[in-house]
Structure 1
Amino acid sequence: MAAEPKRGILKRLRDYPRSLAGRLTLVLSLGMAISALLALQASDALRSHVFRKEQTEAALKSAVDIAHRYERQPGSTEAVLSDGLVLGAHRADANWRMTAPDAQFSRLLTERLGHPAQVMPLSNVECFSRFARYPHAAGMNTNPLPDCWFIQYAQRPGAQRRFVVDLWPDRSLHHPAVGPPYFELIIIAGALLGLLAASLATAPLRRMERAARAFSLVGDFEPIPVTGPSEVRAAITTLNLAQERVREGLRERTQILASVTHDLQTPLTRLRLRLEQVEDEDLRDRLVADLQITQQMVRDGLDLARSSELREPWSVIDIDSILSSMAEDAAEFGHRVAFTQGCAIQARVKPNALARVLGNLVDNALKYGGSADLSCRIDRENADLLITVADRGPGLPDAELVLAFQPFRRLSSSKGNGSGIGLAIAQAQAATFGAMLTLHNREDGGLLAEIRLPASAVFT
């Protein structure tokens, strides 16, 4: 029993990606996660661009400041740069050569100084080579050194200036924009939001699906509440209108048949009176019998039309009680009807419709098998309620089991003058409370009629 719910859960999980909710969840979760990642990447790229722009401007200001100091006090400026007394600038190594100047930076500095200038970015290790001379203590991090620019310009012919400016970088730019645990959190948050959005979006569709299924199985028309987005409200309104029109069509059909049946009673009665005047007694009896069959077929046709129009209220009843009382009532009239197995179950049905179904099935069992056994049980696979009526008759060929529910169809095992719509009426009555009626041949002989009620209508 524990494996059955597990199989049901696995089936729902397997079918979920093929559903509208599953596809919305997938699209929304992936879309939100990808959008978040792209937004973070774009934000990181913009931040890096803004920082580089601001850093370049600051380096230009430092270079112009040192150049102006050289113009005012060249000797003292050279001395303080050599001694490292200026924060953010120091003397350039005499061995350095301007091998790969930055064209844009050089152009900007040339414009501000008014002298031809060249600027070349340097690596941290090359710029601060003196740090490499000393051994590092354990745990000492030498990576966060400033960014450096080697600057060279000619203040005047024969007076070339060389120095270095440095600025502290934003080391966070070198870290990935998204990493553990943020990447996982984005994926999880996207999936949860996708599930929520898909559930909210498909909730009106699920209401419509349940209402349409109930109408197709039971025939009861209950308008769906018109809520949700405008498109969903329009669809619900259309579905409600379609259901109402179907109901009106069924009511109109039943009224027409009832009117025809009523109108036929008068000529059939006159015909019966005239047939009584036939002098040939044998012919009169045959004609009257044919007339009776005609009248019965008209009444049965009306019963069949009305069987799907039952407006009986729902009730929760004890199944064992209705089966045992039906067996007792039949036994009082000398019929061999037995209640063989109970289930201690209550179910939500239409009592009169269920009684009509059981009555027709018991009549068939007595007619073709001479006896009827009533029982009920719970289906282990899906928790449906199964009510069965079994007989010991000849059964039916497999090809006729489905045909038995077609109205006015005479089967190979038919006997007597019945109209052949008893099972059709029983099937229509069962549908009014959401049940399904099927026939099966028993292994040890006879026919088994099975009424299957869905688990949603069962109360233990």
Structure 2
Amino acid sequence: MRDILRWLRAYPSSLAGRLTLILVIGMPASTLFALHVSQTWKDNAFVQRQHESGMASAVDIARRYELAPERTDKWLDSHFILGAHKADATMAASGWDPALSRSLSDRLGYPAKVRKLQRPECFSTFVRYPPAAGMNTDPLPDCWLVRYVNAQGVERRFVVDLLPNPDRGQPPVGPPYLELIVIAGALLGLLTARIATAPLRRMERAARQFSLAGDLEPIPVKGPSEVRAALETFNLAQERVREGLRERTQILASVTHDLQTPLTRLRLRLEQVDDEALRERLVADLAATQQMVRDGLDLARSNEVREPWAVIDVNSVLSALAEDYAEVGREVTFVEQTRVEAWVKPNALGRALANLVDNALKYGGSAQLCCMIERGNLVIQVADRGPGLPDEEIENAFQPFRRLSTSTGTGTGIGLTIAQAQVATFGGVVTLRNAKDGGLVAEIRVPMRRLR
């Protein structure tokens, strides 16, 4: 539950969250805008069609008056003609529409006037009394009051009904429609964001793994052009970093090799010093210098990433390591086993374990090995019975050439640094913690994606 809440808090600030938010808001907004524009165009087109039908009806009634005025009067008064009827005397002869009046005058060939009327005026007989419970006046159309004077000077007044608007009183978007748009926008946003950010997530995972292991195959370059360009750049940067590490190791190896000859000559010349006490101190300083040079080269080589990957049986590796130390009289035991195979770099893991066991023997006199599965990760523990470390020094224990308060002897303080670098080459991490019953516990954690 906590992970879900953390994901929900972080999702809006991610690229996927922003794409989802844009689509969730943008889709309904753009749809409603499109519906509004479409409805406006539809209404305007219907009004134009209404005007054309009204003009056609008015011209038709005028022609009927020309041919049979008495019969037309009778039919209008009796509502025998669909779409036209007699004008009530109560209809006001004012408020004429200039544009409609000019249009009808042009079609009739003599002066005419048109006034727009609403349903209550058009159908006063129907709206005068309350309708039945299941009926209403919404389907009734609006109408025009038409008045003209023909060539003989006779005035005619009648009403023509307009086409009823089927969408009258209906909202452009029904109650479930907007909700469906929002839900569809959210689903489409999640899907689009997932598809659009998939290459970026691959690059993010590759960058994280490269920062730990430094040895990855190039990411497949596919996706949109911008993403392909970013992946190509990342692959190029990754290759340049690897090349830089290799060059650094080669340079340090060359320097170390070149230093061996003058250091050997210096050792021979120091042997000729007559003062025995001075000679011993100088030889000890020279030996420390040689050891520092070798340790520096080891530290540089600890990041070497060209070792091939392999599947190993962790139990076999730990039991073999314990047996090797036991053969030379060192107290190293393998106490807890878990049947698991790991996808690692075997030499890097072996060297890291050897450094951690050497530290345990140096400060605790013995080492205890065990392995287990915690939260899907392989955990290898190397525990000793030594004095442990102050909590404030644990974080600094992996810094190179840094000697801690419990250090003894003449070491250079890079054993833990090398172990950490070796484990990082296959994506693992090394941590230290003080045991509850005393001593220090070093843990190697290998992510579950490296397990089988």
- TM, length-normalised to structure 1: 0.91
**1:60, CA displacement in angstroms?**
1.1
- Corresponding position of 1:452: 445
- Correspondences of 1:301-320 after superposition (within 5 Å): 301-320=296-315
Residue 304 of structure 1 contacts residue 425 of structure 1 at CA under 8 Å; is this kept in 2? yes
Equivalent residues in 2 for 1:40-439, closer than 5 Å: 40-131=35-126, 139-140=134-135, 142-155=137-150, 159-380=154-375, 383-439=376-432
Distance 2:291 2:305 in 1: 21
Alpha carbons of 1:63 and 1:344: their partners in 2 closer, same or farther (altered >3 Å)? same
Does the CA-based 8 Å contact 1:145-1:168 persist in structure 2? Answer: no
Q: Which moved more, 1:187-196 or 1:406-415?
A: 187-196
Gap regions ≥5 residues in structure 2:
none
**Alpha-carbon distance in structure 2 between the residues aligned to 1:53 and 1:160:** 28
Deviation readout 1:110-140 (Å, 9 max, x if unpaired)? 3333444332333334323334578866644
CA distance in 2, matches of 1:94, 1:284: 138
Q: Does the aligned pair in 1 maintain the 2:380–2:445 contact within 8 Å?
A: yes
Cα deviations by residue, 1:63-118 (Å, 9 ceiling, x for unpaired):
12212222333222212211222221111122322344334323322333344433
Retained in 1: the 8 A contact 2:143–2:162? Answer: yes
Q: Is the 8 A contact 2:144 2:162 kept in 1?
A: no
- Look up the SS of the partner of 1:174 in the other structure: coil
Mapped to 2, the partners of 1:13 and 1:403 lie a distance apart of: 35
Q: For structure 1, which segment, 133-142 or 106-115, has the greater mean C-alpha deviation from structure 2 after superposition?
A: 133-142
Gapped runs of 5+ residues in structure 1? Answer: 1-5
Report if aligned partners of 1:44, 1:173 keep a CA contact under 8 Å in 2.
no
Matching of residues 4-15 of structure 1 within 5 Å: 6-15=1-10
Deviation at 1:175, TM superposition (A): 1.5
**Stretch moving more, 366-375 or 436-445:** 436-445
Residues 428 and 446 of structure 2 are in contact (CA less than 8 Å); yes or no, is this contact kept in structure 1?
A: yes
Q: Report if aligned partners of 2:141, 2:165 keep a CA contact under 8 Å in 1.
A: no
Larger mean Cα displacement after TM superposition, 129-138 or 63-72:
129-138
One-letter amino acid of the structure 2 residue matched with residue 204 of structure 1: P
**How far did 1:23 drift?**
0.4
1:48–1:173 CA contact under 8 A, matched in 2: no
CA shift in 2, pair 1:411/1:126, >3 Å? same
Take 2:373 and 2:105, find their aligned partners in 1: how far apart are those partners? Answer: 93
CA contact (8 A) 2:53 2:163 kept: no
Q: Give the conservation status (yes or no) of the 8 Å contact 1:90–1:165.
A: yes
Amino acid at match of 1:302: L
Amino acid at match of 1:428: A
Number of residue equivalences? 452
Q: SS of the residue aligned with 2:218?
A: coil
Q: Classify the secondary structure of the residue corresponding to 1:185.
A: helix
Q: Which amino acid aligns with 2:45?
A: V
Q: Distance in 2 between matches of 1:440 and 1:107?
A: 97
Residue identity opposite 1:343 in structure 2: T
Check whether the contact 2:394–2:432 (CA below 8 A) recurs between aligned residues: yes
1:17 to 1:142, Cα distance in 2 relative to 1, 3 A: same
Q: How high is the TM-score relative to the length of structure 2?
A: 0.92
| Alpha-carbon distance in structure 2 between the residues aligned to 1:49 and 1:174 | 16
Q: Does the 8 A contact of 1:63 with 1:165 survive in 2? A: yes
Q: Residues of 2 paired with 1:136 and 1:286: CA distance?
A: 121
Amino acid at match of 1:355: G
**What CA deviation, in whole Å up to 9, does each residue of 1:124-178 have, x standing for no partner?**
3432333457886664455322332222233368632111111331312532222
CA contact (8 A) 1:221 1:247 kept: no
Aligned with 2:18 (options 23, 31, 35)? 23
1:270-313 alpha-carbon deviations (Å, 9 max, x no partner)? 22233333444444333333322222221111111000013222
Partner Cα distance (1:404, 1:131) in 2: 96
Residue type of the alignment partner of 1:9: I
Match of 2:34 among 30, 35, 39: 39
8 Å contact 2:312–2:344 — kept in the other structure? yes
Classify the secondary structure of the residue corresponding to 1:149.
strand
Classify the secondary structure of the residue corresponding to 1:437: strand
CA distance in 1, matches of 2:377, 2:94: 86
Is the deviation greater in 58-67 or in 197-206?
A: 197-206
Query: Equivalent pairs: percent with the same residue?
Result: 65
